[in-house]
Structure 1
Amino acid sequence: MTLPELTEDCSRCAALCCLAYPFRAHEDFGLLKDADTPCPNLGPDFRCTIHDDLKLRGFGGCVAYSCAGAGQRVTQELFGGETWRDDPDLLPHMAYALRVLRPIHEALLVLQEAAALPLPVTLQTRCADLAASLCPENPASVRDFEEDSVQNALAALPDFVESLAPFAQGGS
Structure 2
Amino acid sequence: MTPPVTLPSLTDDCSQCAALCCVAYPFDADEDFALLKRADTPCPNLSDSCLNCAIHDDLLPKGFGGCVAYQCAGAGQRVTQDLFDGETWRDDPDLLEHMTYALRVLRPIHEALLLLQEASHLPIPDSAKRQGRFLMAALCPEDAKSVHDFEDPEVQDALADVPAYLQSLATFL
1:48 pairs with 2:25:
no
Q: Kindly report which structure 2 residues correspond to 1:11-160, keeping only aligned pairs within 5 A, or say none.
A: 11-26=15-30, 28-43=32-47, 44-160=49-165
Give the Cα separation in 2 of the matches to 1:32 and 1:21.
11
1: CA distance, partners of 2:89 / 2:143:
23
RMSD over aligned CA atoms reads 0.8
Number of residue pairs aligned between Structure 1 and Structure 2 = 168
| 8 Å contact kept, 1:25–1:31 | yes
Identity over the aligned pairs, expressed in percent?
A: 68
The answer as to whether partners of 1:15 and 1:46 remain within 8 angstroms in 2 is: yes
Once residues 10 and 118 of structure 1 are traced to their aligned partners in structure 2, the CA distance between those partners, rounded to angstroms, is 33
Structure 1 unaligned residues grouped into runs of 5+: none
**Greater relative contact order structure (CA < 8 Å, 6+ sep):** 2
Contact between 1:117 and 1:167, CA under 8 Å: does it hold in 2?
no
Contact 2:27–2:38, Cα closer than 8 Å, also in 1:
yes
TM-score (norm 1): 0.96
The CA distance in 1 between the partners of 2:119 and 2:89, in whole Å, is 36
TM-superposition CA deviations, 1:35-58 (whole Å, max 9, x none): 000000001311100001100011
In structure 2, give the amino acid aligned to 1:94.
Answer: M
Instruction: Give the aligned partner of residue 3 of structure 1.
Output: 7
Write the distance in 1 (CA, Å) between the matches of 2:14 and 2:31. 23
Query: How far is the alpha carbon of 1:166 from its aligned partner?
Result: 2.6
In 1: Cα distance, 2:45 partner to 2:33 partner: 12
**What SS class does the counterpart of residue 46 from structure 2 fall into?**
coil
